[in-house]
């Protein structure tokens, strides 16, 4: 089955089905909402995650909130989180211990999600900022955004348009598509798992920022396309503290600096002892960027970085790493050709091969993990497009590949249920929906409003009872 003339998508693997608009960077007026006179009218319990705070200006919008347990200042810095599925409480639950450690308020939008366009993101931000500033004691000089995947693009979009945002933490994706490296007003932290399909893009953008005046850093971890583990996000939060020290917004904290420097030096030494010279160099560069302009100890990381880069072993490992990235680009190019061929045998062999090779605990293993994630989002994007355009035969083909490549992804099974409903197979629909729920599907509203399911005798209460809280 060859698919000719029906599509070719340019895959922006992180922002859902809609293509991002090009972001124009230039001077913009400060949003008037940031100038509102702050009058704190609400008392929220400290140290408790509040999953839903209704916005007073728009009751259809809400956010999750966490205020650190111990508040020692009149005003506190705040980080606004954007989850790609609109689950504002999810990142707050992961990072609330860091909020306590650093004294940050955390707020997570329950409305921002993949599929929204940037005009919707703008409206969400306007209401979110107004509501929090009118109800909480926020340090206006320390407003930050953080997002994962499509949420990272939202966090970046807001920072590009609103000067009140002083820093962006972009996890699992970069700034909105079409954004060129420039002298941004905000500091930028990119985070990615080494098995994340967007890792290579984040590395390339970080390198491109070297030619600008933007303060930036890149943090990689052993993982996939996911919110970063708390110990990794801890580094990003520490970066916000160091930025504030550099800008003299808060006093130098010698105890904090000593602990950070000691830990980073130990990390560098551990990597060198294990013969992982490219990772040692990356750790040096990260700490150099974080500490420069804050402490003279940054010079140690500068000298160590140069020494590592001049070593023969580093140069050998770096060359191998670059060769692997080139191999990855070439494999992706071959996949893009095969998307239109409709050769099921090719994909069956390819997916089976990737599943075996991705288990290797090596640089190549991480590459194959990225390729599996690349195919997962490719199959999702094409399947979704085919379903929306009612090309059900083609949708069935790509949904089957989606399930083979990423069987733990609940969206694969949900899309399969839609296709099977259209083909009049209620038993398959029931099986697919149960698998979707087993793998984490929890969107009751979407389930009940799905047109394809309404003609079937589906026991929604039974299905929803199985959903994880």
- Cβ distance 415 to 50 under 8 Å? no
Please count the structural domains in the chain.
Answer: 2
pLDDT of residue 30: 33
Each residue of 22-38: b (16+ CB within 10 Å) or e?
Answer: ebebeeeeebebeeeee
Residue 162 lies in a domain: yes
Within this chain, do residues 185 and 334 fall inside the same structural domain, yes or no? Answer: no
Angle between helices 298-309 and 312-338 (to 10 degrees): 80
Of 251, 266, 283, which residue is a domain's last?
Answer: 251
Within this chain, do residues 221 and 334 fall inside the same structural domain, yes or no? Answer: no
CA distance 222 to 366: 9
> For the domain that residue 142 is a member of, what is the CATH number?
3.40.50.1820
Residue 243 lies in a domain: yes
pLDDT of residue 37: 39
Of 193, 228, 251, which residue is a domain's last?
Answer: 251
Within this chain, do residues 231 and 348 fall inside the same structural domain, yes or no? Answer: no
Range of the domain at 195: 32-251
Within this chain, do residues 229 and 347 fall inside the same structural domain, yes or no? Answer: no
Of 188, 219, 251, which residue is a domain's last?
Answer: 251
How far, in Å, are 64, 77, 84, 162 from residue 52 at the CA level? 5, 20, 17, 25
pLDDT of residue 360: 86
pLDDT of residue 1: 63
Within this chain, do residues 333 and 247 fall inside the same structural domain, yes or no? Answer: no
Residue 183 lies in a domain: yes
Residue 48 lies in a domain: yes
Per-residue confidence of the chain (469 residues) as pLDDT tens digits? 666 544 444 344 333 333 334 443 333 333 333 333 344 457 799 999 999 999 999 999 999 999 999 877 789 999 999 999 899 999 999 999 999 999 999 999 999 998 889 999 999 999 999 999 999 999 999 999 999 999 999 999 999 999 999 999 999 999 999 999 999 999 999 999 999 999 999 999 999 999 999 999 999 999 999 999 999 999 999 999 999 999 999 999 999 999 999 999 999 999 999 999 999 999 999 999 999 999 999 999 999 999 999 999 999 999 999 999 999 999 999 999 999 887 899 999 999 999 999 998 888 999 999 999 999 999 999 999 999 999 999 999 999 999 999 999 999 999 999 999 999 999 999 999 999 999 999 888 899 999 999 989 888 999 999 997 6
Within this chain, do residues 41 and 146 fall inside the same structural domain, yes or no? Answer: yes
> For the domain that residue 461 is a member of, what is the CATH number?
1.25.40
């Amino acid at each position: 089955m060859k698919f000719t003339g029906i599509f070719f998508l340019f895959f922006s693997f992180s922002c859902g089905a809609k293509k991002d608009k090009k972001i124009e960077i230039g001077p913009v007026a400060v949003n008037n909402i940031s100038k509102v006179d702050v009058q704190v009218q609400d008392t929220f319990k400290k140290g408790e995650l509040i999953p839903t705070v209704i916005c007073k200006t728009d009751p259809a919008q809400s956010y999750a909130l966490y205020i650190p347990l111990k508040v020692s200042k009149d005003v506190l810095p705040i980080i606004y989180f954007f989850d790609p599925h609109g689950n504002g409480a999810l990142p707050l639950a992961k990072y609330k211990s860091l909020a306590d450690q650093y004294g940050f308020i955390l707020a997570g939008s329950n409305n921002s999600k993949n599929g929204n366009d940037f005009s919707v993101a703008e409206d969400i931000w306007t209401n979110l900022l107004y509501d929090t500033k009118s109800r909480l004691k926020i340090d206006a000089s320390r407003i930050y955004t953080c997002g994962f995947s499509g949420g990272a693009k939202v966090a970046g979009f807001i920072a590009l348009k609103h000067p009140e945002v002083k820093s962006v933490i972009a996890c699992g994706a970069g700034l909105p598509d079409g954004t060129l490296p420039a002298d941004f007003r905000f500091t930028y932290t990119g985070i990615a798992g080494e098995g994340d399909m967007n890792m290579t893009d984040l590395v390339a953008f970080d390198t491109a920022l070297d030619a600008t005046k933007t303060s930036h850093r890149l943090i990689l971890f052993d993982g996939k396309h996911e919110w970063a583990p708390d110990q990794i996000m801890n580094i990003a939060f520490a970066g916000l503290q160091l930025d504030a020290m550099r800008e003299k917004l808060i006093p130098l904290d010698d105890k904090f600096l000593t602990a950070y420097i000691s830990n980073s030096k130990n990390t560098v030494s551990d990597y060198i002892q294990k013969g992982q010279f490219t990772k040692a160099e990356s750790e040096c560069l990260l700490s150099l960027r974080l500490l420069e302009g804050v402490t003279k100890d940054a010079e140690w990381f500068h000298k160590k970085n140069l020494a590592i880069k001049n070593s023969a072993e580093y140069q050998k490992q770096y060359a191998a790493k670059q060769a692997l990235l080139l191999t990855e680009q070439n494999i992706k190019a071959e996949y893009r050709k095969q998307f239109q061929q409709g050769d099921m045998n090719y994909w069956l062999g390819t997916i089976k091969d990737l599943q075996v090779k991705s288990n290797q605990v090596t640089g190549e293993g991480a590459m194959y993990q990225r390729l599996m994630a690349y195919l997962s989002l490719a199959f999702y994007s094409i399947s979704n497009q085919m379903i929306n355009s009612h090309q059900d035969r083609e949708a069935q083909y790509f949904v089957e590949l989606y399930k083979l490549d990423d069987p733990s992804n609940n969206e694969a099974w949900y899309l399969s249920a839609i296709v099977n409903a259209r083909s009049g197979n209620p038993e398959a629909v029931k099986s697919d929906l149960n698998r979707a729920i087993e793998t984490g599907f929890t969107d009751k509203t979407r389930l009940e409003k799905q047109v394809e399911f309404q003609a079937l005798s589906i026991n929604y209460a039974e299905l929803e009872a199985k959903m994880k809280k």
